[in-house]
Amino acid sequence: MCNDSAQISVLAKTTYDFTFLAGTATQTVVLLPYVDVSGYYRAHVLVRVHISQMSAGQKVDFELDHTLPSDEDPAEFIDRGVTGSPLATATVDSTLSAPILVSASATDLEAGLRVRMVATQGSTPGTPFYVQVSVVLVLRPF
C-alpha cells in the first residue's frame, strides 16, 4: 500500500438479521459517522460478504456521503449534491453468492465522509434476510 493512502476498518465481521422488517421497509445503521478525508481525493468502500441469505427484492446498500459535523450544532450535516443520492453505493442483493467482495468508489472528496448501511426488505415480509459482512474504507490522494 502506498504511504499516502489509508485503510480504515469500518466494521469487523458482523451478522445482521433484517428478517423482522415489514414489507418494503428500510433499516439504516450508521457504521462510521465521520472520518476526515480532507487530504484525500478518492475513496473506496469495500464490503466482504461472508454469508448472506436474501430473496428477490431484498438488498443492503453500503453508502458514502459527504458530511461535516459541528461542535456548535448536534445536527447531522450531509451533502448529497444535486442528485440527492449518496456519493457512492455498494449493493449486496440476492443475485450475489457469498463469499464475495463488493465495492464502490467516489472521487473529489470534501472534508469528511460518513459510511452507512441501509437494508431494504422486499415485498414479502418474514422471508429470511440476513448478511454477515465486514467493511473497509480505502482513501487515496489521487
CA distances from 140 to 3, 33, 68, 99 (A): 10, 19, 19, 26
Residue 134 scores a pLDDT above 70: yes
Q: Determine the Cα–Cα distance for residues 31 and 65; give it in Å rounded to an integer.
A: 12
Residue 123: strand, helix, or coil: coil
Q: Quote the pLDDT of residue 142.
A: 79
> How much is the pTM?
0.92
* Residue pLDDT, tens place only, 44-97: 999 999 999 999 999 999 999 999 988 899 888 888 876 779 999 999 999 999
1 has pLDDT over 60: no
Q: What is the pLDDT of residues 11-20, one digit of tens each?
A: 999 999 999 9
Identify the H or E element spanning 48. Answer: strand 42-53
* pLDDT tens per residue across span 112-123: 999 999 999 999
- Integer Cα distance of 46 and 62 in angstroms: 9
Max distance between CA atoms of the chain, in angstroms, equals 48
- Check pLDDT > 80 for residue 2: no
Yes or no: is domain 6-140 CATH 3.30.70.100?
no
